[in-house]
Amino acid sequence: MSKAHSLAAVGYCVGKALRSFISGDLRDAVYQIAPAIDVTAKKRYPTIRRVGPRTKAFLLDEQTLIYYLSTQGRYSLPERIKIMLVDSKTDKPVGDSQEHNGELADFIYHNIRCAQSHDGEIDYEYIDFGRNFGVGRITFKDDGEPPKPGLFVVSRATVLALILSVVCAPENAKLQLPGDIDLFGKIVLQKNLLAGNRNYLMRCLRRLFDAEGVGA
């Protein structure tokens, strides 16, 4: 696939993912953004031939954004640092098995990207899906009961972070977005500044969460 065609494909997926997200169809938003994550990861890591390791490497790069947005700015993890998620009640890694080792990239890849792309459904055996905010084992009191032991939280904010991680990837700097993006009715991300520009996105998120009084 040529660079122009791959960028057009990413733009198409991003547009559909955003429309689904805005309409409240989070499962379809994940389904639509999964191929764009794959294409972007391939651009970033062309020497990694297998899809799984390549996609996990991309997600590990983006975990700062994913955690920051998912937790309303309360938590910010460094890039490329593998974090093992441990269940507070069992002291075991969340999803303690060979395929599900408790890492963010592993969970998103196996239970969101693969399950949705291959089976057309989120793997609810491992995923607590659809809260407003939260990720991993981090949740908020006004967003329902704590997740059951062994479940990994993927919130609406996590899904949006996955979409924005593709939009803001430097590999997609020439991406044509369908329009500006309204974040929670509080701040507008300008399309001409957002594509390929994670620094701009993080500045906007800090401004948003600082104004709400919840930032780290």
Mean residue pLDDT of the chain comes to 84
Angle formed by the axes of helices 63-70 and 51-61, nearest 10°: 60
Q: Which of 166, 212, 207 is nearest to 38 (CA)?
A: 166
pLDDT value at residue 46: 95
Of residues 138 and 106, the one with the higher pLDDT is: 138
pLDDT value at residue 184: 84
pLDDT value at residue 97: 47
Residue found by looking up tokens 């696939």 in the block = 1
Q: Which residues partner with 86 through β-bridges?
A: 93
Position 95 confidence tier, pLDDT thresholds 50, 70, 90: low
Q: Which of 141, 189, 186 is nearest to 164 (CA)?
A: 189
Position 116 confidence tier, pLDDT thresholds 50, 70, 90: low
pLDDT value at residue 149: 81
- Tokens standing for 61? 């790069």
pLDDT for 181 beyond 70: yes
pLDDT tens per residue, range 8-67: 999 999 999 999 999 999 999 999 999 999 999 999 999 999 998 999 899 989 989 999
- Rounded distance between C-alpha atoms, residue 25 and residue 27, angstroms: 6
Q: Which of 3, 68, 59 is nearest to 34 (CA)?
A: 59
Q: Which of 147, 82, 60, 210 is nearest to 155 (CA)?
A: 147
User: Which residues, 6+ apart, have CB-to-CB distance to 11 below 8 Å?
Assistant: 175, 176, 177
pLDDT value at residue 26: 92
Q: Which of 203, 211, 162, 161 is nearest to 185 (CA)?
A: 211
